[in-house]
A and B are shown apart, each in its own frame.
Chain A
Amino acid sequence: MIQANVPLLTTERLTLRAQRPCDFEAYAAFYGSERSRGMGGPHDRATAWRQFASELGHWVLRGYGFWMIDLTETGETVGLAGLWNPEGWSEVEIGWAMFDGSEGKGYAREAATAVRAYAYDTLGWGPLSSVIVPDNTRSQALATRLGARPERDWVAPAGWPAVIWRHPGKEALA
Chain B
Amino acid sequence: MTTPVLTTDRLILRAPDKRDEPAMLGFFTGERARFYGGAYDLAGAWRYFAAQVGHWALRGYGMFAITAKDRGETLGLAGPWHPPSFAEPEMAWLLTEARHEGQGFATEAVGAALAHVFAVHRWASLPSYIDRDNGASRTLARRLGAVPDPDHAAPIGNCETFRHFAPEARA
- A157, B43: Cβ atoms under 8 Å? yes
Known: A24-B84, A57-B57, A58-B54. 17 other contacts (CB 8 A): A1-B14, A1-B15, A1-B17, A2-B3, A2-B15, A19-B58, A46-B85, A50-B47, A50-B48, A51-B47, A53-B52, A53-B55, A55-B54, A60-B18, A61-B17, A86-B47, A88-B43
A58: which B residues are within 8 A, CB to CB?
Answer: 50, 54
Q: How many residues belonging to A are interface residues under a CB distance threshold of 8 Å?
A: 29
- A46, B47: Cβ atoms under 8 Å? no
Indicate if B21 sits at the interface (CB-CB under 8 A).
yes
Instruction: Give the B-binding residues of A (Cβ under 8 A).
Output: 1-4, 18-19, 21, 24, 45-46, 49-61, 86-89, 157-158
A87: which B residues are within 8 A, CB to CB?
Answer: 25, 42-43, 45-47
> Are A53 and B3 also in contact (CB < 8 A) when A2-B15, A61-B21 are?
no
Which of B18, B41, B44, B57 makes the CB contact (< 8 A) with A4?
B57
Indicate if B77 sits at the interface (CB-CB under 8 A).
no
Which of A45, A60, A157 makes the CB contact (< 8 A) with B84?
A45
Which of B21, B41, B57 makes the CB contact (< 8 A) with A2?
B57
Query: Main SS of the interface on chain B?
Result: helix
B55: which A residues are within 8 A, CB to CB?
Answer: 53, 57
B45: which A residues are within 8 A, CB to CB?
Answer: 87
Q: How far is A86 from B52 in the complex, measured between Cα atoms in Å? A: 14
Within 8 A of A (CB), among B16-39: 17-18, 21, 25
- A50, B57: Cβ atoms under 8 Å? no
> Are A54 and B54 also in contact (CB < 8 A) when A4-B1, A45-B84 are?
yes
